[in-house]
Amino acid sequence: MPDSSASLPSPADQPGELPQDVLIVGAGPAGLALACALADAGLQVTVLEQQSSERLAEPAPDGRDIALTHRARDVMRRLGLWQRLPEAEVAPIRAAHVSNANSPRFLRFDAQAADCEALGFLVPNHRLRRVAYEGALARGAAVRLLAGWQVREARVDGDAATVVAAPAQGDGPALTLRAPLLVAADSRFSITRRRLGIGANSRDFGRTVIVARLAHEREHDGTAHECFRLGNTLAILPMNDRQVSAVVTLRASEADAWMALPPQAFADRVAEQFGHRLGAMQMVGERHAYPLVAVYAHRFAAPRVALIGDAAVGMHPVTAHGYNFGLYGIEVLADLLDQARRAGRDLGAMATLAPFELEHRRVTLPIYLGTNLVVGLFTDDRPPARLVRDAVLAASDHLPPLKDAITRQLTGRRPGWMPDLRKLVAALPPLPPLPGRPTMPR
Ligand SMILES: Cc1cc2nc3c(=O)[nH]c(=O)nc-3n(C[C@H](O)[C@H](O)[C@H](O)COP(=O)(O)OP(=O)(O)OC[C@H]3O[C@@H](n4cnc5c(N)ncnc54)[C@H](O)[C@@H]3O)c2cc1C
């Protein structure tokens, strides 16, 4: 049966009413972090999720260790989520080393050279999910979580968006909810996006990524390695307690064999592919496999609709931007909705949402296209492609402005010359309320 969080009202209440300012579909790390940001902006939020509240409260480890930028950490800090992470679960990345098959060329980035304590921070995904859930619960009545409901229909009728959900398990009557603004945060394969008629470009890389935690003998010094090998890609991410997160990208046809290896054979193979640089390795926990499909929605905003997290941009993980982009988008959208609420403007109007569309596209599109290009180049094992990647690595290492630009992407720090669109929007004089339905009365 569907459920809702202990302190929250029954999911079945007031079907068809407009009880909230914003309805979010998907209580993943993006949907829940947005709920926190909107609650802090004085809005009433409902989050609809297919998983049970027990699973949300205790998310199972999924093998993903997420590299977060400084900017993403700052967003999480402002939401009070970073402070909830156990210190032992946050691992700083002190340096990054990119190598190309058997070539002696490599590219190296150092936190010290970039004048910062770390290039980024690694945190297990299930921890991010958990703190986002705890943060949403801590917002009390401002966030209503309806768990155990699966969205089936989503549409916009004039002054409201409507969602119809059915119990995720078993039978039961459907639930209809309406709100001035609907946010889809239900993964890169978002049903809500689809039902709203918003298309997406997707690229199936025909590859699978296998992630696993490994313990090892020698110190890793906080260095992350990205090794573009012949036939596969191996990333070694430095975690705490002499452990690394291994990320192996393979042709989908080979992934089953790697997944079927006994745990020690898998660990030995990773150690061997890494040249035994960290000594012997042992598995810690389970392996997890993910098909690699990148997705970019045609629009991030439409009247009464916004897309956030992977529902907006589902990245290939090689450049570690997925959740970072989610958090950047949340910050921008929440600021705009905060300003709209203060000015008494319609939350779901395009005038409110258009700057989010523009800013999120400006930030994400170059990296999305660039990442796909890099993946294409670095997974092509033909000799011309290998020569080009050598040249790219050499050029990146010897051109300080290019290296600086990559470092800024890694850390999420904005260059001094780039204007902050949110500050520009905040500086605009308040617009009169738009015709149509105003913000929900409190
Ligand atoms: C191997 C791997 C490594 C990664 N590494 C990094 C990294 O280093 N750095 C980084 O920034 N990002 C990384 N990412 C990406 C990051 O994990 C995602 O961007 C992030 O988890 C997306 O969060 P989300 O909330 O948008 O979506 P999800 O986590 O997919 O959550 C969506 C939620 O919506 C719910 N839902 C789905 N459909 C429905 C429905 N019909 N009705 C109700 N609820 C629904 C789901 O149950 C789920 O709870 C990585 C991803 C992978 C696979």
Q: DSSP letters of 190-242?
A: -HHHHHTT--EEEEEEEEEEEEEEEEESS--TTEEEEEE-SS-EEEEEEETTT
**Sheet of 120-124, strand order:** 65-68, 120-124, 91-93
pLDDT of 414: 55
Whether 278 lines ligand 1, by a CB cut-off of 6 Å, is no
The pLDDT of residue 94 is above 70: yes
Atom 14 of ligand 1, residue of closest alpha carbon: 322
Do 258 and 248 meet the contact criterion of CB atoms below 8 Å apart? yes
Q: DSSP letters of 242-267?
A: TEEEEEEEEEHHHHHHHHHS-HHHHH
Q: Based on C-alpha coordinates, what's the Rg of the chain?
A: 22
Non-local (6+) Cβ contacts of 55 within 8 A are none
Whether 31 lines ligand 1, by a CB cut-off of 6 Å, is yes
The pLDDT of residue 252 is above 90: no
Closest Cα partner for 339 from 436, 420, 429, 437?
429
Average pLDDT over residues 230-250: 90
Atom 30 of ligand 1, residue of closest alpha carbon: 187
pLDDT digits (tens, 9 = 90+) for 128-139: 999 999 999 999
The pLDDT of residue 404 is above 80: no
Average pLDDT over residues 56-81: 96
Beta bridge partners of 153: 164
Closest Cα partner for 214 from 248, 181, 190?
248
118 C-alpha to ligand 1 centroid (Å): 25
Identify the structural domains of the chain with CATH numbers, from first to last: 3-80+126-202+294-427 (3.50.50.60), 89-124+205-293 (3.30.9.10)
Average pLDDT over residues 344-364: 95
Whether 167 lines ligand 1, by a CB cut-off of 6 Å, is no
Task: Give the DSSP H or E segment for 65.
Answer: strand 65-68
Task: Give the DSSP H or E segment for 302.
Answer: strand 301-302
At 10, the pLDDT band (50, 70, 90 cuts) reads very low
Task: Using the atom order of ligand 1, give the atom closest to the CA of residue 27.
Answer: 49
Whether 64 lines ligand 1, by a CB cut-off of 6 Å, is yes
Task: Give the DSSP H or E segment for 288.
Answer: strand 281-297
- Please provide residue 289's backbone torsions phi and psi, each rounded to the nearest 5 degrees: -120, 140
Task: Using the atom order of ligand 1, give the atom closest to the CA of residue 209.
Answer: 1
pLDDT of 441: 29
pLDDT of 124: 97
The pLDDT of residue 383 is above 80: no
Whether 2 lines ligand 1, by a CB cut-off of 6 Å, is no
Whether 313 lines ligand 1, by a CB cut-off of 6 Å, is no
Atom 49 of ligand 1, residue of closest alpha carbon: 28
Question: Any idea what DSSP says for residue 271?
Answer: H
Question: Distance between CA 425 and CA 134 in Å, rounded?
Answer: 31
pLDDT of 381: 65
Q: Which of 133, 292, 323 to mutate to test the pocket of ligand 1 (most atoms within 8 A of CB)?
A: 323
Average pLDDT over residues 227-252: 89
pLDDT digits (tens, 9 = 90+) for 111-165: 887 778 899 999 999 999 999 999 999 999 999 999 999 999 999 988 899 999 9
pLDDT of 405: 62
pLDDT of 434: 36
The pLDDT of residue 218 is above 60: yes
The strand pair at 305-307 and 301-302 is best described as antiparallel
- Record the tokens describing residue 72, joined without a space: 């993403």
187 C-alpha to ligand 1 centroid (Å): 5
Q: Which of 4, 131, 186 to mutate to test the pocket of ligand 1 (most atoms within 8 A of CB)?
A: 186
Whether 28 lines ligand 1, by a CB cut-off of 6 Å, is yes
In 3-state terms, what secondary structure has residue 48? strand
Average pLDDT over residues 237-248: 95
**Maximum mean pLDDT: which of 113-122, 199-208, 410-419:** 199-208
